[in-house]
Chains A and B, each alone.
Chain A
């Protein structure tokens, strides 16, 4: 409980939220807290999107990277291809598994984080900054309204982990 209170007050100071686990199932290996950043929107498949002007940056959340384990390979699309909301645009490899990454919004892919080919671990160490994956020119900005805000996403993560 003390650790949770410390984490919560630290999070408030840093303007981030934390999601905590209600209980662990026999098959759950996550640590108790995942960072959720204010100002971003979130998909229930655990990707985040930061909309700034005409470009939206996309990556996976701290919750996702924590559950996936050490990322050793990232498969990203080519610039100029399109992303579709809810559909896969690439994959990461961790712990002998490939895991699809799904786009929270639709649009043209205008930039890809090429540094991830040499440093896939940036997804683990900095999921919201150095670990960004693609930048998209949104084709339908209203799709952002269907995504979760930080508090809703935090609650979603807690409920999802508690259900397992």
Chain B
């Protein structure tokens, strides 16, 4: 069996696997951005829950349009702007993160463009959720039926790309109240609020089974190699300037002021 497994892996590209549990999401995003831009290897990063709730916006996100700034400031919820595209999520210990960083020609037939990458990732996760009714990639979200349980985003550079996903294995409904209904939303959302739009993956699959099945699906495309965490952090730690950052309270307060001023002018 071992020899057969080795033989079937011949010819598959290597992918380094790094697993965390409870890594702060800002640290995860910093690591991802650094590996995307400074490494030439393929990587899979799995973070089984982050240590504390945080709001994470995409590169073009405007706080005044996407989050309820008053309650966020009152409750000291960190707000992060990440380097990739896509929308706004609130993540916590119930969120499972899976990130894939690939060289552009590593997956046959996949071009370094958003829809091509996402089409392939949709097929990958179809293997993970095989047998579960209703799973699909729907208007760029991972859903069961018409309920979203996984949000993803990407960043594409000259010869590499990253596809990262936050899976809602579980979530605190009260946290969804920090998020506004976004102006740019998929059609299938049909103006539903967060509680009616999202669902919990734990109602469909145990946490450990999801991670195990994701690893198995990856192994049909890559020769996956667990990597020492200290080696990853150490070798990619110096000199890199991230664009992913924590927004300051001052920036959030300014966003509120600007919004109120523009309403006063138009009102």
Asked whether, in the complex, the Cβ of B114 is within 8 Å of the Cβ of A69, the reply is yes
Contacts of B115 in A (CB 8 A): 27, 29, 67, 69, 95
In the complex, whether A91 has a CB less than 8 A from a CB of chain B is yes
A96 contacts B152, C-beta separation under 8 Å: yes
Q: Which residues of A contact B117 (CB under 8 A)?
A: 27, 97
B residues within 8 A CB of A130? none
- Is the CB–CB distance between B153 and A96 below 8 Å? yes
B157→A27 contact, CB < 8 A: no
21 sampled A-B residue pairs with Cβ under 8 A = A25-B111, A27-B110, A27-B111, A27-B117, A29-B116, A67-B111, A67-B113, A67-B116, A68-B114, A73-B59, A93-B59, A94-B85, A96-B86, A96-B114, A96-B153, A97-B153, A97-B155, A98-B83, A98-B85, A99-B113, A99-B155
* A16 CB-CB contact with B under 8 Å: no
**Contact of A26 with B157 in the complex, beta carbons under 8 Å:** no
Contact-residue bracket for chain A = 20 to 34
B40 CB within 8 Å of chain A: no
Cβ A27 vs Cβ B120 within 8 A: yes
* Most A-side CB within 10 Å, residue of B113, B115, B116, B154: B113
Q: Is A102 an interface position by the 8 A CB rule?
A: yes
Once the chains bind, are B158 and A73 in contact (CB under 8 Å)?
no
Q: Is B29 an interface residue (CB 8 A)?
A: no
Is residue A111 contacting chain B, with contact meaning CB distance below 8 A?
Answer: no
Q: Does A28 contact B (CB under 8 A)?
A: yes
Minimum CB–CB distance for B117 against chain A, Å: 8
Is A81's CB within 8 Å of the partner chain B? no
- Chain B residues near A45 (CB-CB < 8 A): 158
Q: Once the chains are docked, how many angstroms separate the CA of A73 from the CA of B152?
A: 17
- With A68-B114, A75-B59 already in contact, the answer to whether A26 and B109 are too (CB < 8 A) is yes
Question: Contact check: which of B110, B118, B154 meets A164 at CB < 8 Å?
Answer: B110
- Say if the beta carbon of A100 comes within 8 Å of chain B: yes
Contacts of B83 in A (CB 8 A): 98
Indicate which residue in B152, B153, B156 contacts A100 across the interface (CB closer than 8 Å).
B156
Contact B109 A97 (CB under 8 A): no
CB of A72 closer than 8 Å to a CB of B: yes
Smallest CB separation, A106 vs chain B (Å): 16
Residues of chain B lying within 8 A (CB to CB) of residue A12: none
Expressed in whole angstroms, the Cα–Cα distance for A102 and B159 within the complex equals 11
Say how far B4's CB is from chain A's closest CB, in angstroms. 28
Contacts A27-B119, A164-B110: A97 and B158 contacting too (C-beta < 8 A)? no
Q: Mostly helix, strand, loop or mixed at chain A's interface? A: mixed
- In the complex, are the beta carbons of B109 and A95 less than 8 A apart? no
Task: Quote the shortest CB–CB distance from A85 to chain B (angstroms).
Answer: 12
| Most chain B C-beta atoms within 10 Å of own C-beta, residue among A26, A68, A99 | A99
B223 at interface by CB-CB < 8 Å? no
Is the pair B184, A72 in contact by a Cβ cutoff of 8 Å?
yes
B114–A25 touching, CB < 8 Å? no
Q: Contact check, B157 vs A97: say whether CB atoms are below 8 A apart.
A: no
Find residues 110-151 in chain B having any chain A CB closer than 8 Å to their own CB.
Answer: 110-111, 113-120, 140
Q: List chain B residues, Cβ under 8 A from A91.
A: 59
Residue B87 lies at the interface, judged by CB distance under 8 Å to chain A: yes
A55-89 Cβ-contact flags toward B at 8 Å (1 or 0) = 00000000000011100110100000000001010
A70 to chain B, nearest CB (A): 10
Query: B171 to nearest A CB, angstroms?
Result: 20
The residue in chain A whose Cβ has the minimal distance to the Cβ of B141 is A96
B58 at the interface (CB under 8 A from A): yes
> Is B60 close to A, CB under 8 A?
yes
Chain B nearest CB from A1 CB (Å) reads 25
Q: Which residues of B contact A26 (CB under 8 A)?
A: 109, 119
Q: Which residue of B lies closest to A99 (CB)?
A: B156
**How many angstroms between the C-alpha atoms of A102 and B113 in the bound complex?**
15
Contacts of A73 in B (CB 8 A): 59-60, 85
Bound CA span A91–B116, Å: 18
- Return the CB mask of B163-201 against A: 1 if under 8 Å, else 0: 000000000000000000000100000000000000000
